[in-house]
C-alpha cells in the first residue's frame, strides 16, 4: 500500500468469493474490517548481553549514533570501531567523551550491551 508510514493503522475492504462444501451463513453486503500495521521496512539485529560484532546492510538515512541506537540506548555500554587505514580505534559511550559519531553501512562495530535486546532499525 503506497503512502503509509511505519506504525500507521489503515482500514480497507475487499470482496471475495469461495467454493465451499457444506452450509455456511452468509449475509449479502456483509463486511469485515481488518486492521493492518503498515511498515516501510526494518531490520532487526539480536544483541546478546556482552560484546557483539555487528554491521548494517543498508545506508541509514541518518547515521548519527544517537539516532541509530535510540531504541536500545538504555542497554548500550559502549560501541567500538577500528579504522584499518589509520590503525586507530574510535569509541562511543553515553557516560564518557566519545569520538565515534556515526554507524555506517559496510563497516563492522563492536557493541557492548548490558542484557539481551532486539535492536530494530527503520529502513526508510
Residue by residue, pLDDT tens for the chain (124 residues) are 455 555 666 555 555 555 555 555 556 666 655 555 555 567 889 999 999 999 998 889 899 999 999 999 999 999 999 999 999 999 999 888 999 999 999 999 999 999 999 999 887 6
pLDDT of residue 65: 95
**Angstrom distance (rounded) from CA 118 to CA 58:** 18
Angle ∠(92,50,102) on CA atoms, nearest 5: 25
Amino acid at each position: 500500500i503506497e503512502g503509509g508510514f511505519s506504525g500507521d493503522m489503515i482500514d480497507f475492504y475487499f470482496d471475495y468469493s469461495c467454493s465451499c462444501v457444506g452450509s455456511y451463513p452468509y449475509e449479502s453486503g456483509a463486511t469485515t474490517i481488518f486492521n493492518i500495521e503498515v511498515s516501510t521496512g526494518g531490520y532487526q539485529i539480536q544483541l546478546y548481553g556482552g560484546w557483539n560484532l555487528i554491521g548494517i546492510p543498508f545506508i541509514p538515512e541518518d547515521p548519527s549514533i544517537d539516532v541509530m541506537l535510540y531504541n536500545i540506548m538504555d542497554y548500550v555500554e559502549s560501541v567500538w570501531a577500528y579504522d584499518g587505514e589509520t590503525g586507530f580505534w574510535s569509541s562511543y559511550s553515553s557516560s564518557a567523551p566519545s569520538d565515534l559519531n556515526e554507524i555506517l553501512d559496510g563497516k563492522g562495530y563492536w557493541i557492548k550491551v548490558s542484557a539481551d535486546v532486539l535492536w530494530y532499525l527503520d529502513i526508510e
